[in-house]
Amino acid sequence: MATLTENEIIDIIYALYETDDEGWDTTSSEYVSARAFCNAAIREWERYNNTTWRELFTALQDSTQSSPTLAKTTTAGTYTYTCPTNFLRMSSWVRTQDGTEGTPIYWEVVSPEKISRYHESDQNFCWVTGSLKDGFTLHFNPEKTLTTGHTIHYEYYKQATLFTATTSTTEVSDPYFIVYYSLARILKNDGEDYSDERDTWKNLLENMRTTNLTGYFDINDPFSDSIVNDVGFGG
């Protein structure tokens, strides 16, 4: 299903609600309220049933963040690096690499509460501290030597993108979930019957979860063990 912008989604909501195609002015209170309902829908999707959505995995090197500035390479003597602002949790080992041809160095990600066990250790390990409120920071073992200019690689699980402008898009795979969630909220606020719209968005949400649980068609996962169990990495 094609990605729809905020404006396109809200125009569909308007058409279903008002039964015409005039649309709300983008500066009107109705439009701003619809945006808030759309963002509530995105949050509902993001947190639904503790689902880990495939759409929310991304990589540091793919981040287009411009502010605050995001370091994607190491600097000698610097052992802390700010994570992207949409960071939630690490989903892979961290790697540092000299250019594109150099052999990656793997860094095991350790829970912050276990750091004391690694006191003065010369192992390749790192950890993440922080919160949604204050942001997250990646720390490398200060007992190791970092070389200026090595690329930092890691995959992470991110926050869902909310609508902030008419051209905004989000990761929700079925935009009609957002449409019907928002429409149900509008009808509820009006004191109207919204049971059909509620049932529709709940079905669409569950359909997305089911699809998310389905593996790639006719492709088996050949990796039965986590990289954590491979003693050849991180040494």
Q: Count of residues for the chain? A: 235
What pLDDT, in 10s, does the model give residues 41-52? Answer: 999 999 999 999
**The tokens of 152 are what?**
């930092």
Please, are residues 24 and 30 in contact by the beta-carbon 8 Å criterion? yes
Q: Are 172 and 204 in contact (CB under 8 A)?
A: no
Cα 156 versus chain centre, distance: 8
Write down the domain spans for the chain. 6-53+161-213, 55-159
pLDDT of residue 225: 46
Which pTM does this prediction carry? Answer: 0.88
State pLDDT tens for residues 197-215: 999 999 999 999 999 998 6
Q: Does position 234 have pLDDT exceeding 50, yes or no? A: no
* pLDDT, averaged across the chain: 92
Q: How confident is the model at residue 218 (pLDDT cuts 50, 70, 90)?
A: low
Res 223 pLDDT > 80: no
CA separation for the pair 93, 118 (Å, rounded) = 17
Q: Are 234 and 108 spatial neighbours (Cβ–Cβ below 8 Å)? A: yes
Residues with Cβ < 8 Å from 168, sequence gap 6 or more? 5, 6, 161, 162
Query: CA-to-CA distance for 181 and 198, rounded, in angstroms?
Result: 7
Give 74-100 pLDDT, tens digit per residue: 999 999 999 999 999 999 999 999 987
In the predicted structure, residue 195 carries a pLDDT above the cut 90: yes
Provide mean pLDDT across the span 174-199. Answer: 98
pLDDT digits (tens, 9 = 90+) for 12-22: 999 999 999 99
Q: What is the pLDDT of residue 216?
A: 65
Residue 222: what pLDDT?
A: 54
- Spatial contact of 157 and 144, defined as CB atoms under 8 Å apart: no
According to the model, what pLDDT value does residue 95 have? 98
The predicted pLDDT at position 76 comes to 98
